[in-house]
Amino acid sequence: MKKYLNKVVRLVKKFKEADFVQILREENMEVDTLVKEALVSEVMDELDEIQYLPSIDFPEVQQIEGEENWMTPIVSYLKDGKLLEGKDEARKLRVRSARYVLMDEVLYKRGFLQPYLRCLALDEANYVLREIHKRACGNHSRARSLVHKVVRIGYYWPNMQADVKAYVKVCDQCQWFSNVPRQLSEHLTPIMAPWSFA
């Protein structure tokens, strides 16, 4: 709040005259709906607003070195021709990187009958899953259809099937509204009665 107050004070100095009017709580419907929205766990879609440029200044932080992920050896081989140590690992990397292409410092996976798929690191993949499953495109679809959506949109990462299955498994809303399994936990065991209905 202090940063916002400082921003307002700086802006007020640029005007010749400024009047501040206090709006009563009953008359300020927008703030009232925002307060109610904060109390409700489900956020209403029509009130979501994405603010691309914040109104206050944040210090700029630049990442010096990216962390290693599954794409690092493939990118270094395609860019500089660097192979891994060891004959078998180098051969595996050469064979594996034949399915990828590097365009404008971005790694893409080639497909036989589909366009290039942009390769994602694990943190980017989690963001894409969250957006597709819950938010913008979200209809809380199951694992198989969610994987097809990710591929249709144009993204790829290895172990996509397992990651999506694990993500859907921990989604709270999917668990609430999923089908209830009706299978017995163990087989029925017959019990022999020595005297039947005696």
Please check whether residues 147 and 174 belong to one and the same domain. yes
pTM beyond 0.75: the answer is no
Q: What is the pLDDT of residue 117?
A: 93
User: Residue 3: inside a domain, yes or no?
Assistant: no
pLDDT tens digits for range 16-74: 888 888 877 677 777 777 777 766 655 455 555 666 666 676 676 665 556 788 888 99
Q: Do 90 and 139 belong together in one domain?
A: no
Q: Which residue has the higher pLDDT, 132 or 24?
A: 132
Amino acid identity of residue 15, one-letter, is F
Compute the mean pLDDT over every residue in the chain, rounded to the nearest whole number.
Answer: 81
Residues in the chain: 198
Minimum mean pLDDT range among 54-63, 157-166, 185-194: 54-63
Q: Which residues contact 119 (CB under 8 A, 6 or more apart)?
A: 71, 100, 106, 107, 108, 109, 155, 156, 157
- Is 59 among the domain residues? no
Residue 163 lies in a domain: yes
Contact call for residues 74 and 100 (beta carbons, < 8 A): yes
CA dihedral 118→122→128→131, nearest 10 degrees, is 180
- In a domain, residue 98? The reply is yes
**Tally of structural domains, the chain:** 2
3-state secondary structure of 119: strand
In a domain, 33, yes or no: no
> Is-contact 83 93, C-beta < 8 A?
yes
Task: Give one DSSP letter per residue of 78-114, joined into a string.
Answer: HHH----SSHHHHHHHHHHHTTEEEETTEEEE--SSS
Domain span holding position 74: 69-105
Tell me, what DSSP letter sits at residue 12? H
> Does residue 16 form part of some domain?
no
